[in-house]
């Protein structure tokens, strides 16, 4: 039910996909240009080295072998990758000062970009809330500036928390991909394929867990609760945790599959629509879950009001 209702509401708000796309394109160009300048100035001596070329060559050979089935390359990948990374780390250690400042600069720009892009997502959440609550059409700009204070406070809390959680996710995925195969039988390509499967499964499960824990945060904020109090309520909300988790798990798998299919079928062009639509859909899942668990009725369409138990038409 949540899957169908959230998808229905996301499609009803599809016009916001183009606004989110335009916003993201502008911010990507701005922050991408700044990061490019930082990396060009700080890493030119590394990216032009033989160690870097070897590292890229090993990665290219691995992904090429995945598609061509060259088992010899896959068998030796872990050893080759370890050697390439070791050589690259030795080179980086000789230029530690510039690398540290580069990493700090890129991380700050990344966090700032997450903050700025998050303001747009919060505005889209405001549009979705108004649509579900009163079936009104709120403009993106109106929702953006009306909720700017709450959005800024939300992002100040969310961005650092998300950054730490994402770092832990990367470490978990690193373990599943590079170290978990050592505990598995040596089946050549099948072992590598199993490692990729475990990594993707861990990534999706951890992302679904994060979305489940904070699923009530944004909706509660739009229901008049303070940002900090809404976060606390979201973490304490144990009611329906399993169903929320399964909903996010299914939706995330559909999002991954849909984006991959759309990317291959259209040579990547459809991703301009499917990626921002994915963010919109996840927001709708949060609102549908919150309204359902708190017994609040909401508009699914002009003729249909969905409640906690009944659908009024």
pLDDT in tens, 75-128: 777 778 888 888 888 888 887 777 888 888 999 999 999 999 999 999 999 999
258/52 Cα distance (integer angstroms) = 34
Contact between residue 20 and residue 291 where contact means Cβ atoms under 8 Å apart: no
Highest averaged pLDDT of the listed ranges 17-21, 101-105, 235-239: 17-21
CB-CB contact of 225 with 233 (8 Å): yes
Look at residue 50 and tell me if it is in a domain. yes
Residue 255's pLDDT is what? 95
Look at residue 83 in the predicted model and tell me its pLDDT: 85
Return the percentage of the chain with pLDDT > 70, whole number.
93
The pLDDT of residue 220:
92
In a domain, 305, yes or no: no
Q: Is residue 160 part of a domain?
A: yes
Kindly state whether residue 308 falls inside one of the protein's structural domains: no
Residue 311 maps to a domain: no
What was the pLDDT predicted at 188? 62
- Name which residue leads in pLDDT, 257 or 58: 257
Read off the tokens for 61.
Answer: 């050979």
Q: What is the pLDDT of residues 206-218, one digit of tens each?
A: 999 999 999 999 9
In a domain, 288, yes or no: yes
Separation between Cα atoms, residue 289 and residue 79, nearest integer Å:
47
Domain membership flag for residue 312: no
Structural domain that includes position 178:
2-300
Q: Mean per-residue pLDDT for 256-263?
A: 94
* Structure-model confidence comparison of residues 233 and 183, the more confident one: 233
Q: What is the SS3 string spanning the chain?
A: CHHHHHHHHHHHCCHHHHHHHHHHHHHHHHHHHHHHHHHHHHHHHHHCCHHHHHHHHHHHHHHHHHHHCCHHHHHHHHHHHHHHHHHHHHHHHCCHHHHHHHHHHHHHHHHHHHHHHHHHHHHHHHHHHHHHHHCCCCCHHHHHHHCHHHHHHHHHHHHHHHHHHHHHHHHHHHHHHHHHHHHCCCCCHHHHHHHHHHHHHHHHHHHHHHHHHCCCHHHHHHCCCCHHHHHHHHHHCCCCHHHHHHHHHHHHHHHHHHHHHHHHHCCCCCHHHHHHHHHHHHHHHHHHHHHHHCCCCEECCCCCEECCCCEEC
Q: Name residue 306's beta-bridge partners.
A: 298, 311
**Tally of structural domains, the chain:** 1
Strands 311-312 and 305-306: antiparallel
| Gap between the Cα atoms of 35 and 204, Å rounded | 28
Distance CA 107, CA 117 (A): 15
Mean pLDDT along residues 248-268: 94
pLDDT tens for 135-165 read 888 999 999 999 999 999 999 999 999 999 9
**Structural domain contains residue 306:** no
Question: What per-residue confidence (pLDDT) applies to 310?
Answer: 44
Average pLDDT over the chain reads 87
The predicted-structure confidence for 176-191, as pLDDT tens digits, reads as follows 777 766 676 666 667 7
Q: Which two tokens stand for residue 205?
A: 């499960």
pTM assigned to the model: 0.81
Among 253, 242, 238, 244, which Cα is nearest to 215's? 244
The predicted model gives 43-70 an average pLDDT of 80
Please calculate the CA angle 165-166-167 and round it to the nearest 5 degrees. 90
Which pLDDT score is estimated for 67? 74
Between 142 and 51, where is the model more confident? Answer: 142
């Amino acid at each position: 039910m949540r899957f169908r209702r959230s998808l229905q509401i996301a499609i009803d708000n599809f016009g916001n996909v183009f606004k989110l796309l335009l916003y993201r394109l502008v911010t990507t160009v701005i922050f991408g240009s700044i990061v490019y300048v930082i990396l060009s100035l700080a890493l030119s001596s590394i990216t032009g080295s033989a160690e870097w070329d070897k590292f890229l060559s090993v990665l290219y050979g691995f992904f090429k072998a995945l598609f061509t089935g060259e088992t010899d390359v896959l068998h030796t990948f872990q050893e080759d990758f370890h050697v390439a990374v070791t050589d690259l780390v030795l080179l980086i250690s000789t230029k530690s000062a510039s690398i540290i400042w580069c990493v700090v600069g890129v991380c700050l720009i990344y966090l700032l970009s997450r903050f700025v892009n998050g303001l747009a997502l919060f505005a889209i959440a405001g549009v979705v809330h108004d649509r579900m609550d009163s079936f009104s059409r709120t403009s993106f700009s109106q929702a953006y500036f009306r909720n700017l204070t709450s959005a800024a406070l939300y992002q100040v809390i969310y961005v650092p928390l998300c950054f730490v959680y994402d770092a832990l996710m990367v470490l978990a995925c690193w373990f599943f991909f590079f170290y978990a195969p050592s505990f598995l039988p040596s089946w050549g390509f099948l072992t590598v394929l199993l490692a990729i499967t475990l990594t993707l499964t861990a990534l999706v499960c951890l992302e679904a867990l994060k979305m489940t824990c904070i699923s009530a945060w944004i909706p509660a904020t739009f229901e008049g609760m303070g940002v900090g109090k809404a976060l606390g309520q979201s973490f304490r909300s144990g009611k329906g945790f399993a169903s929320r988790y399964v909903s996010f798990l299914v939706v995330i798998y559909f999002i991954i599959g849909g984006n991959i299919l759309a990317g291959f079928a259209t040579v990547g062009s459809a991703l301009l629509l499917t990626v921002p639509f994915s963010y919109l859909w996840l927001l709708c899942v949060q609102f549908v879950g919150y309204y359902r668990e708190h017994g609040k009725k909401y508009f699914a369409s002009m003729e249909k009001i969905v409640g906690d138990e009944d659908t009024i038409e």
